[in-house]
Structure 1
C-alpha cells in the first residue's frame, strides 16, 4: 500500500558532469505528470513518461532534471537558425521605439535555443541518456520507498479506526434487545391507554411493525462485512485507493441508515460516532494510491 504524497531527490556524478532528479507527488484521481527539463533534454520526455507509468499508478507527479556539465568538456555553438530571426526582431523593436536600450549579448545567449553545445558523438549521446534514465529509475525507487512508508502509516491509522467502528457496532448489537423491549413496553402502555378494551392482537401487530422498523441487524452485519473487506484490501498490492474510497461510501450509507432507524439516543450517538470515524478514514484514503 502506497501513499500518493512523497518526495525523492538523487544526485549522480559522471565523467561529463553531474545531474540531479527531483520528483514530488501529491494525491490526484488519475496519474498526471509535469516536467521541468533542460532544453537539450526535452526529447527524453516520452521515455520519462513511460518509465513513470511503469512505477506509479495515480497522483500528480512533478519531475525536475538539473544538469551541471563540466566546463572543460563543453564546446558552445550559436544556433543561427534561432539567432537570426531573433536579431531581426530586436532591430525592428529598436527602430520603432527610440527609447529602447541596447541589448546585452549575454541576455541573447540566454534565449532558449540560441546557445547550444557542440554535438557529441552518437555513442556519447546514448551513454548520457542511459545514465540519465538510470538516475530517474533510482529516484523513482526512492519515491516509491517513501510512498510505501507513508502508506504503512496511513494503513495503521485506518486499522485503528476499523477497530473503533467494530467496538461501536458490537455495542449497538448489545443494545438492540434492550431497546426493542423498552419500545415494546412503551407501545403496550400507549395502546392500553388509548383502547377501552385491551386488544392483544393489535398489540402484536404494532410490535411486529415496531420490531421491523428497529431491526438494524442487516445494517450491522453489512458494516462488519465492509470492515472485513477494508482490512483485506489494505493487505492487497497495487492501486487500492479507489476500492477503499468505494468502501468508505458503503460504510457511510449503513451508518446513515442506522441513524435513521434509531429509536434510542444511544444508537443515535453510535451512528454519529460511526460517521465521524468513517469520515476520518475517508480523508486518509484520499492520499492512497
Structure 2
C-alpha cells in the first residue's frame, strides 16, 4: 500500500474500552498544500496526544488531518471523607458565637452538611492502570489510522485511473497535432507564400528580400516541435510517477503546470485552424488533469 497512489481525503473511526473507561477516535483528512495535523484529546491525556501526533506524521505525508479522541469513565461510587481540619475550624468558630436561648446548639449532621466538611473522593487510576489505558488508546488509533489510509488509497486508485485517461488523451492529441497536415513543410510554405503575396499586392514598396527574412522568422516562431516534444516527455514523466506511487502530488502538480504552459504556447503559435482546435482540446484535458492532481497526496 505504501507505494500506491493516495488521495488526501478520507475518514475513519475506532472505538475501544479498558476497565471503567470507554473511548473513541475519529480521523478525517482533506486536501492541503502540506501536512496540517490537528489533534484534540481530553484533559489529562497529553502523553497520548504526543504519541498520536508522531504516529500520524509517520504515516501521512500531506493533507489536513483532524483527529479527535473522546473518553468517558463509567460512573463509580466515590468514598466519603470528613475534612477534619475544616470541621475543627468550624467548631472553633462556633465556640466564639454566643447562642440565643431560643437557638439550639449545632448538631453533627448539620455540621457535616456544610459544604467542604465532607468530601467525596472519586476513584483514580493508579500508574499501571493509566499506562495500560494510554497504550490501549494508541492501539485504537493505529486501527483508525490504518482504516484512514485504506480509504485514502482506495480513492487514490480511482484518481490514478482518471489521471491515466487524461494523460492518454493528452498524448493522443499531441500526436494528432504532430501529424496535422497544417504542420507539414509544404503547407507552411503555402500559407507564408499567400501572406507574402497579399502583402506585396497591397504594399509595392516592401523589400522582397526583407520580406523573405521576416517570413522565415515567422515560420520559425510558428514551429511547435519543441512544445510537442515537451508534452510527450511530460506525459511519460507523469505516467512513471503514477506507476511508482507514493506521495507524488507535488510533483504531479508541477507537471500539470508545465502541461498548461506548453499547451498555451502551442495555441499561441498555431496559425492553422485544425491545430488551434486541437490546442483547445488540449487545454480542456490539461485543466481537468490539474483539477484531479489537487487531490493527490
For the aligned pair, the TM-score class normalised by the smaller chain equals 0.7 to 0.9
Matching of residues 154-165 of structure 1 within 5 Å: 154-165=159-170
Match of 2:142 in 1: 137
Match of 2:151 in 1: 146
Following the alignment from structure 1 to structure 2, what is the Cα–Cα distance between the partners of residues 261 and 116?
82
Match of 1:100 in 2: none
| Higher helix proportion | 1
1:167 aligns with 2:167: no
CA contact (8 A) 1:34 1:61 kept: yes
Task: Report the CA distance between 1:285 and its aligned residue.
Answer: 1.1
Match of 1:274 in 2: 282
Following the alignment from structure 1 to structure 2, what is the Cα–Cα distance between the partners of residues 76 and 135?
32
Following the alignment from structure 2 to structure 1, what is the Cα–Cα distance between the partners of residues 79 and 286?
61
Calculate the aligned-residue CA RMSD, in Å: 2.8
Matching of residues 55-94 of structure 1 within 5 Å: 55-72=59-76, 75=78
Following the alignment from structure 1 to structure 2, what is the Cα–Cα distance between the partners of residues 8 and 165?
36
Match of 1:101 in 2: none
TM-score (norm 1): 0.78
Following the alignment from structure 1 to structure 2, what is the Cα–Cα distance between the partners of residues 117 and 205?
95
Following the alignment from structure 1 to structure 2, what is the Cα–Cα distance between the partners of residues 37 and 125?
15
CA contact (8 A) 1:191 1:203 kept: no
Q: Deviations over 1:255-274 (max 9, x none)?
A: 11101111112222222221
**Gap regions ≥5 residues in structure 2:** 81-119
Match of 1:108 in 2: none
Task: Report the CA distance between 1:75 and its aligned residue.
Answer: 4.7
CA contact (8 A) 1:179 1:264 kept: no
Following the alignment from structure 2 to structure 1, what is the Cα–Cα distance between the partners of residues 121 and 216?
86
Which secondary structure does the structure 1 equivalent of 2:247 belong to? Answer: coil
Following the alignment from structure 2 to structure 1, what is the Cα–Cα distance between the partners of residues 130 and 232?
59
CA contact (8 A) 2:39 2:53 kept: no
Matching of residues 3-152 of structure 1 within 5 Å: 3-72=7-76, 75=78, 118-152=123-157
**Gap regions ≥5 residues in structure 1:** 78-114
Task: Report the CA distance between 1:281 and its aligned residue.
Answer: 1.1
Structure 1 range deviating more: 254-263 or 236-245: 236-245
Q: Which of 1 and 2 has greater Rg?
A: 2
1:264 aligns with 2:272: yes
Match of 1:112 in 2: none
C-alpha distance 272-39 of structure 1, shift in aligned 2 (>3 A): same
Which secondary structure does the structure 2 equivalent of 1:12 belong to? Answer: strand
Task: Report the CA distance between 1:210 and its aligned residue.
Answer: 3.2
Following the alignment from structure 2 to structure 1, what is the Cα–Cα distance between the partners of residues 290 and 78?
56
CA contact (8 A) 2:37 2:64 kept: yes
CA contact (8 A) 1:180 1:214 kept: no
Structure 1 range deviating more: 199-208 or 235-244: 199-208
C-alpha distance 247-76 of structure 1, shift in aligned 2 (>3 A): farther
Which secondary structure does the structure 2 equivalent of 1:8 belong to? Answer: strand
